[in-house]
Chain A
Amino acid sequence: MNSAPEIPVIDMDVLVIGGGTAGPMAAVTAKERNPRLRVMLLEKANVKRSGAICMGMDGLNNAIIPGHATPEDYVKEITIANDGIVNQKALLAYAQRSFSMIEQLDGWGVHFQKDATGAYDVKKVHHLGTYVLPMPEGHNVKKILYRRLRRARVTVENRYQATRLLRDDEGRIAGAMAVGTRTAEPVVIRAKAVVLTTGAAGRLGLPSSGYLFGTYENPANCGDGHAMAYHAGAELTGLECFQINPLLKDYNGPACAYVTGPLGGFTANANGQRFIECDYWSGQMMMEFYRELEGGSGPVFLKLDHLAEETISEIETVLHSNERPSRGRFHEGRHTDYRKRMVEMHISEIGFCSGHSASGIWIDEHARTTVPGLYSAGDTASVPHNYMLGAFVYGQIAGEEAAAFVETRSEPELDRAFIETEAARVLAPLARDDGITPYQMEYKIRRLVNDYLQPPKVTRKMEIGLQRFREIREDLPLLYARDPHELLRAIETETILDCAEMAARASLFREESRWGLYHYRVDFPEQNDAEWFVHAQLAKDDDGRMVCFKRPVESYVLALDAEEKSAYRHLSVKQAANA
């Protein structure tokens, strides 16, 4: 028998996995706090253009700007929008740094919209408060982050897929394993602290187009962090609170009510009528959207055709140069002109994403997971409705905390047996001569996610889904890759399967309905605060089983009155008596 070549070990103090939004901020912050630290940013693509904002962003959705909103207002609004299941301390930690982060980014050269007096030109989109700050020139965010990474001398490793986290014999984090996506060569990165910033799990449901990569999220964000945290024993939370977004049909990119709303655009039914009071994305809003989509006045449209020419030109300029710029090309192909007719909308496939909903790796207000030395931030961590600015703020918090943590820690011990087992698991699809391709297996998992997990959720259907996922797990030894790129997809397929199982188990656990469409269980249609005013956690137990359990909601820092509590329950437009 040939002995396998020795797997190289790279030593770092802080390892950040995921170079999108939160990750570069975490890495830069850790290095700035202590320039002597060895800080590596690991990215499966290239940090120049990776993650959800690879083409920039057209606005901040949660800017807390003095004179327009207070951190306390914001914490209350998100508590209400998330049906009360929040860790308010974690929301407040974001809210208190929101404005200083805007100022920091402004200082770095990120352009935010300002009025004639030079003040931030903030807009109202949320149901209660005013938090939306447009960024019509937001296309250069990634370039600016890249400059800061170089300036801070962060070690950047592109085209490495992290596969599993490593722990020492006391259960503390010890680094991660990764594999080159162009070389299929495994590597061990030993680190005293790890920050997971891998983004959403966006390749969970199948888009209605059937195109595997036509997802709402950047399809590179397929839940790597969720799966790695799970296998390392960390708690995840709110995985039943799916991300489902209102989108341009088929294009599957955002319709951008946040951009068009302040300019007079809105979501309409087939009759061109407004049916929701507020276009801010919440589970309650999505429920109204879903009802209209499936109802007799459906489907749903983005209505701009009543606006003035200069307004429409402004909207086109923003939407066709930022975030998802190919949408102009999509409209062109169908001869769609915002001036002449409404644009058909649809709902997205399901996913995990705290940026828009509340699901992810459980973290506290210090970005700490439940595994010592493991931190998380951005769409993959659990702070709800966090969006891009929340990713920056929690990236900063994670960078500070990780830099402080490593000061107290000696070089971790490596578990050689675990490393060899993991290398064998990861490389197995390359060693086969034939089998099932990752594309077929991924398609099948995601088609089953749509069939059995997509809301409205039905108990028996989700149980059948779990059974089918188990059967696919039995097929994993057949997974076959012909080259390192296909191996990357094979590794991702297993991650997607883990996430699908997590989505089913978490959804079955919470026996009530909550967050509008996100967790609408037909056989438990009511919200049940007596039993379910709790976080639903998911973790791997000591026997390797996937288990769910309740975690109490900590006492609020800011109490809500009765009227505030129900504010998001009344989003449908009231029909006038004579209508």
Chain B
Amino acid sequence: MPIATTPTSVPVVVDEDKCIADKGCRVCIDVCPLDVLWINEATGKAHMRYDECWYCMPCEKDCPTDAVTVNIPYLLR
């Protein structure tokens, strides 16, 4: 069966001006229990690649530059 992609608005937002993933930082990517934060190949910055969030906040709390904001997923808001 062929596959289609349904877009969703994701809850975790990374401020690309503050994010230092391009300098090798992987803190938010490492601590996410669901492994949904990845490097955006185009920018070298972290981003939420899969909409699978427990809004648990280690990514935001542990980010050394305060670049990450965890919003409540829209379906729950």
Q: Does A114 contact B (CB under 8 A)?
A: no
> Which residues, 1 to 54 on B, are CB-close (under 8 Å) to A?
1-3, 30-35, 49-50, 52-54
> Which residues, 269 to 310 on A, are CB-close (under 8 Å) to B?
none
Whether A46 lies near B31 (C-beta < 8 A) is yes
Among B33, B61, B71, B75, chain A packs the most CB atoms within 10 A around the CB of B33
Interface size, A (range): 35 or more
Whether B52 lies near A49 (C-beta < 8 A) is no
Minimum Cβ distance to chain A for residue B72 (Å): 5
Contact of B75 among A54, A214, A334 (CB under 8 A): A214
Once bound together, how far apart are the Cα atoms of A333 and B55, in whole Å? 14
Whether B52 lies near A219 (C-beta < 8 A) is yes
Whether B70 lies near A326 (C-beta < 8 A) is yes
* A interface majority secondary structure: loop
Once bound together, how far apart are the Cα atoms of A4 and B70, in whole Å? 42
Minimum Cβ distance to chain A for residue B15 (Å): 17
> Which residues, 207 to 261 on A, are CB-close (under 8 Å) to B?
209-215, 218-220, 250-252
Once bound together, how far apart are the Cα atoms of A334 and B2, in whole Å? 39
Q: Does B57 contact A (CB under 8 A)?
A: yes
> Which residues, 2 to 60 on A, are CB-close (under 8 Å) to B?
45-46, 48-51, 54-55
> Which residues, 489 to 513 on A, are CB-close (under 8 Å) to B?
489
Once bound together, how far apart are the Cα atoms of A324 and B76, in whole Å? 15
Once bound together, how far apart are the Cα atoms of A277 and B49, in whole Å? 46
Minimum Cβ distance to chain B for residue A540 (Å): 29
Whether A211 lies near B76 (C-beta < 8 A) is yes
Contact of B56 among A54, A250, A334 (CB under 8 A): A54
Q: Does A315 contact B (CB under 8 A)?
A: no
Mask of A96-133 contacts with B, CB within 8 angstroms, 1/0: 00000000000000000000000000000000000000
Q: Does A434 contact B (CB under 8 A)?
A: yes
Contact of A48 among B31, B55, B72, B77 (CB under 8 A): B31
Q: A159-B35, A326-B57, A480-B3 are in contact. Are A46 and B30 (CB under 8 A)?
A: yes
Q: Does A329 contact B (CB under 8 A)?
A: yes
Contact of B35 among A329, A478, A488 (CB under 8 A): A488
Q: A251-B72, A333-B72 are in contact. Are A220 and B77 (CB under 8 A)?
A: no
Whether B35 lies near A181 (C-beta < 8 A) is yes
Whether A329 lies near B70 (C-beta < 8 A) is yes
Q: A49-B58, A219-B54, A485-B50 are in contact. Are A252 and B76 (CB under 8 A)?
A: yes
Output the nearest chain A residue to B55 by Cβ-Cβ distance: A326
Contact of A49 among B2, B50, B62, B75 (CB under 8 A): B62
Once bound together, how far apart are the Cα atoms of A254 and B58, in whole Å? 18
Chain B: residues with CB nearer than 8 A to chain A? 1-3, 30-35, 49-50, 52-58, 61-62, 70-73, 75-77
**Given A45-B34, A435-B1, 6 more pairs with CB closer than 8 A:** A46-B33, A49-B56, A214-B55, A214-B76, A325-B61, A330-B55
